Amino acid sequence: MRKLLFISLTLLISLSASSQQYDQAVGIRGGYSSGFEYRAFTNEYVSYKALLSTRKNGIQLTGLKEFHQYGLFDFSNDVVFIYGFGAHVGYEKWNAYDPDDVLYRPYYYEKKTGPVAGLDGLVAVEYTLMDIPLTFGIEAKPFFNLFGKNFFQLHPFDFAFTIKYIF
């Protein structure tokens, strides 16, 4: 009786461990906005991502809500299509030319720093390795700044590669 209870308990634990869903992910993003990201899943189809990235000699913190769609690709069930939206805040630095400086023109540049905030979109394709808890992805994160160096600045081509450890 003890052996039967031990075997059934071991089998139950091993089956529940193999069908475990991942709740979180941490990783790196390499692209125009490169940095570190953290993802928290609320369910199988919705997650929230925080991205701490560098861009234009500054730092931005981006928050995104992501929607995951499974089964869109016939060749593999491990490939997921992701889309979402969010916002970012931070600061950026740039060189400003002073046109009124007659003495040093056109060689005088002044370092400027200013806040930046805007809205983001996201479209991504990710592949999850089931044997190793890793995810590889390609994503496009178009964004526009509502204010910053320029009042309105659109960047439709923020492509990146991502690698995440899921747990």
Provide the CATH number for the domain around residue 60.
2.40.160.20
Give me the residue label for tokens 């899921």: 166
55 inside domain = yes
Q: Which residues partner with 143 through β-bridges?
A: 120, 155
- Rounded distance, CA 7 to CA 1, Å? 10
Domain that holds residue 156: 23-166
pLDDT in tens, 57-100: 899 999 999 999 988 887 888 899 999 999 999 999 887 776 66
**Residue 135 or residue 110, greater confidence:** 135
123 inside domain = yes
90 inside domain = yes
DSSP-H helix ranges across 37-85: none
Q: State the pLDDT at residue 7.
A: 46
133 inside domain = yes
Average pLDDT, the chain: 84
pLDDT in tens, 4-13: 444 444 444 4
| Phi, psi (rounded to 5 degrees) for 18 | -75, -25
pTM for this model (two decimals): 0.79
pLDDT in tens, 11-45: 444 433 444 478 999 999 999 999 999 999 999 99
Q: pLDDT band for position 101 (50/70/90)?
A: low
160 inside domain = yes
120 inside domain = yes
140 inside domain = yes
- Rounded distance, CA 133 to CA 141, Å? 24
3 inside domain = no
State the total domains in the chain. 1
Q: pLDDT band for position 111 (50/70/90)?
A: confident
